[in-house]
Structure 1
Amino acid sequence: MDDIVITGNDEEGISKLKAYLFKSFQTKDLEKLKYFLGIEVAQSYNGVVISQKMYALDIFEEIGMLYCKPIDKTHNADHWDVAIRVLRYIKKAPSQGLIYEDKGHTQIIGYSDADWASSPFDRRSTSGYCILIGDNLISWKNKKQDVVTRSSAEAEYRAMALTTCELI
């Protein structure tokens, strides 16, 4: 079974597309979107809220069982510590989500930043960006840069280049 989400502001176009799909394929219309690819969708007059509550709880249930089992932490101590931090976060905030509201505009905005030579091990900088459409967050990333930069300005330029690539 394959799932598809049809969205847009052209109700007539959506209806025509659905009619074509119903005629050409065996389909079922589930009406308002509630769950898709592990993402829960709650729609209201004010906007749309997406979250991964069920997915997060499933992860906690699966990985949480490992938390009780003794393992050899000598080789994976750093990974183990990170896994425990993630489990604690999921346990405290499984229903955190994002809200998308109509802010009256669809302006695309990108922000970037870099933390110059922030890694004490290899002196590489960390870049980060977030992209918004109409004040709604749609994309974000932070990543250690591939090279060692010679200045904070170079680190910032690399962060801006990463942001520009995402915007394009």
Structure 2
Amino acid sequence: MFARHGHLDVEGHTDADWAGSVTDRRSTSGYFTFVGGNLVSWRICELLWIRNLMRELGFKPKHAMQLNCDNKAAIDIAHNPVQHDRTKHVEVDRHFIKEKLEAKIIKVSFVKSEDQLADVLTKAVTGRVFHSSLSKLGIDDIYAPT
């Protein structure tokens, strides 16, 4: 159910669990995208697609889209103009994100891990955190007794 929140801001939440699987060392990543405070997708490229779609529909963005991340190192790499040797595996993505930051299309902000909504997509969380995240995502049981 979409609710009216009085704005059409585009906001994203992103999280990654690099090589977190103990069995095969695979990485997991997750993203949530909100428009006007309502969850609409869960992939990062949708941030740019939604922004372009809204422009075509006549809704011009008032400010940069908010992308929330709980990894200070990832935020620093995205903002740092110096190419580090240890980031060669993300060189193309880093330049893509840096271009969007410089154009003020995206603004990456740090959030504490306990406030990171995308954690439910990348790791096991407690029942309390899971249900709190569902509420923040606007996912409610419409059949629950009131």
Q: TM-score, normalised by structure 2?
A: 0.30
In our comparison, the structure showing a higher alpha carbon Rg is 1
Structure having the larger proportion of residues in strand: 1
The structure whose RCO (Cα within 8 Å, separation 6+) is larger is 2
